Amino acid sequence: MTTSANHPLLARLVAEIQHGQKFVVDVRNEDESFGLDGYQLSIWSVGSDKPISIFPWDSEINEELIDLKVRSKDLESETSRFAIRLRDELAATESRYGNGFFNRVLVDLVTESYLDKHPDIKDALDRAHSRQVERNSVYHECRDTIAYVIGKRSRELTRQLDYDETSMRKILSKAIARYIDNRFSLSQRKQMGLL
């Protein structure tokens, strides 16, 4: 079985990047009703009019692409990419602490770190509701983990993908908003007339 770490496509990209070729990725979902599921990852040579490869989202391949400093084609694609990164990276934390508890800690963290001043995040938080929880040591462990993951995404955008601070904030804020939208099924509930 081929794992993403020894995927032939990655070996090809590494070789071509070493010879000066540049690549971008495109992260798209034709059916947004699946939230952050159902995304496809396509890889393009810069200047090409068609992708060299298209496949279902693979977090390990995406991580390798980030390590290779391969950016997305546009802001929308990068936002989707990092919203999915948040989902993937925080899945174990949600599982460990439970859905409701995790949601409350996430909302508190985003609100108290002033990320809620970004219009997309503010809109998502205005529609997301969760019950209060006790702020004990477990709460702070969960909060620290979420903050660490968000900080890690920030560093990926600036250090590995070389975005400036303004672009990083825009991408990360929109990604967090999309992640919150997905966690609370906000868009789906709105489509069904429940919000």
pLDDT tens per residue across span 154-173: 999 999 999 999 999 999 99
pLDDT score recorded for residue 101: 95
pLDDT of amino acid 31: 62
Give the model's pLDDT for residue 1. Answer: 36
Strand (E) or helix (H) holding 63? helix 59-67
38: left (phi over 0), alpha (psi -120 to 50) or beta: left
Span 53-73, pLDDT tens digits: 998 999 999 999 999 999 999
Number of domains present in the structure of the chain: 1
Residue 43 CA: distances (Å) to CA of 27, 79, 89, 172: 9, 16, 22, 21
- Give me the domain span that covers residue 151: 4-191
- pTM of structure: 0.86
Q: Render the burial of 153-190: b for 16+ CB within 10 Å, e for the rest.
A: bbebbbeebebeeeebbbbbbbbbbbbbbbbbebbbee
| First-to-final CA distance of the chain | 45
pLDDT score at 3: 45
Please report the pLDDT score of residue 179 as a whole number: 92
User: What number of helices (H) and strands (E) belong to the chain?
Assistant: 8, 4
> What residues in the chain have per-residue pLDDT under 50?
1-3
Task: Report the SS3 class of residue 134.
Answer: coil
